Amino acid sequence: MQENKDEASELLTFGGHLEVMRHMLFRIISVTGVIAVAVFCFKDATWQLLLAPSEWDFVTYRKIEQVVHTLGFSDFNFEEYHVELIATDLSSQFMTHITTSIYIGLLGASPYILYELFRFISPALYDNEHKYSVRIVLVVYALFILGVLMSYYVLFPISFRFLGTYSVAERVHSTITLDSYVSTLITLTLLMGVVFQLPVVAWTLGRMGMITSAMLSKYRKHALLLIMIVAAAITPPDLMTLVLVTIPLYLLYEVCIRVVR
């Protein structure tokens, strides 16, 4: 097995590896560019999706109202609100449209990007490493998508609702720039995508012998307190948002215990 692997590695020189990488990067850029152009062309559908979390009747609020009503609180309803989005520079809308299309293109092409990267490194892996690597890549991507959905449906709309409607006085009204809206959405989305990699990090540390499931179980209370502090730092200072963010993050911690075990 080792001899076959050494022979395979000798088939390509350093320049050959660079040539393979060049072709791989070209394919990744091409696929990302095609998706970005498609997103740019379908402007109405794209921005209807991106601006939906800023609406007072976003689907998350309706689902929360339905759950609360089933619990017997039929009078509970979210108040209607309207926050105006503005563009302050002449080219800001056009440039924001381009950059957002590129971000969405990268997100849409991410499965293909992972496939190309894995195909590039897979010849250097043994059979058992290949098997584990495939599983890890799939889990990492699935957790990242869950983090993106968490940000889009929970964290960002609630944060926008609180911060966009917060006012120090009645005569002071908020008008949010489009750049601020998009940058906040992208930042929170990437942040939650990274945070949701916690089970993979825990699995890695467990394989290295740095943590154990007993250790994680012992510090459950400390972890819950730390999670609440982190949730309070990245969300508006209201109880509902804190609870909505703390619950999935703590469930991730419980998943980590079972993964390490």
> Mean pLDDT across the chain, nearest whole number?
83
Q: Closest Cα to residue 40, out of 100, 110, 109?
A: 100
What pLDDT, in 10s, does the model give residues 144-174? Answer: 999 899 889 988 888 888 888 877 887 887 8
Rounded Cα distance, 202 and 207, in Å = 9
pLDDT tens-digit map of 163-222: 888 778 878 878 889 998 998 899 888 888 888 888 888 888 888 888 888 888 888 888
85 by DSSP, 3-state: which? strand
pLDDT band at 234 (very low <50, low <70, confident <90, very high): low
Residues in the chain: 261
- Between the two ends of the chain, the Cα-to-Cα distance in Å is 32
pLDDT at position 235, please? Answer: 65
Mean per-residue pLDDT, 126-132: 71
Question: Tens digit of pLDDT for each residue in 56-111?
Answer: 889 988 988 888 888 887 788 888 888 889 988 888 899 999 999 999 999 999 88
| Residue 66, SS3 per DSSP | helix
Which stretches within the chain are classed as H helix?
2-10, 14-41, 43-51, 59-70, 92-121, 127-150, 156-165, 178-195, 198-207, 213-218, 220-234, 239-260
- In this prediction, residue 238 carries a pLDDT of 63
Tell me, what's the pLDDT at 5? 45
Please report, for the chain, how many H helices and E strands are present, in that order: 12, 2
Q: How far is CA 28 from CA 12, 68, 116, in A?
A: 21, 46, 8
